[in-house]
Amino acid sequence: MSNNVEKTSAEATRPEAGQAGLFPPVNVVEDANGITLFADLPGVPKDKLGLQVEADTLTIEGEVSFAMPEGMESIHAEVSLPRYRRVFTLSKELDTEKVAAEFVNGVLTLRIPKAAHAQPRKIEIRVD
């Protein structure tokens, strides 16, 4: 992730005290029209995934759901917390009213466009 993306579009913060959760890996890609976040959330069903935008804060939360076959019990588990949580501070350049989300095969894709005032625009040159 380039420093430009982190500083201008989305900045990750650690979960707050009392809000413990796994810190899912996220890639942020910026282009001229906005940013796209790709978050890996394996084991999270769609109905246990939560997204919230409040002011300039984006919160991604998901509860891990591992179905244990009947009659079996786990003797070793490397996933100690049953949920994901990631919080981002979003740039004022982004239009949080137009966030689009897609969740396929454990990968959350969020597209957040830049606000109209932050979009590149072509300036016409008049000839007199």
User: Is 74 part of any domain?
Assistant: no
Domain hosting 36: range is: 3-67+80-117
User: Is 28 part of any domain?
Assistant: yes
User: Is 126 part of any domain?
Assistant: no
User: Are 86 and 11 in contact, with CB atoms under 8 Å apart?
Assistant: no
Phi, psi of 99 (to 5 degrees): -70, 135
User: Is 72 part of any domain?
Assistant: no
CATH code, 15: 2.60.40.790
Per-residue pLDDT for the chain (128 aa), expressed as one digit of tens each? Answer: 333 333 345 555 444 445 567 889 999 999 989 999 999 999 899 999 999 999 889 999 999 877 778 988 878 877 667 889 999 999 999 999 999 999 999 999 999 999 877 667 788 889 88
Structural domain count, the chain: 1
pTM over 0.85: no
User: Is 73 part of any domain?
Assistant: no
User: Is 60 part of any domain?
Assistant: yes
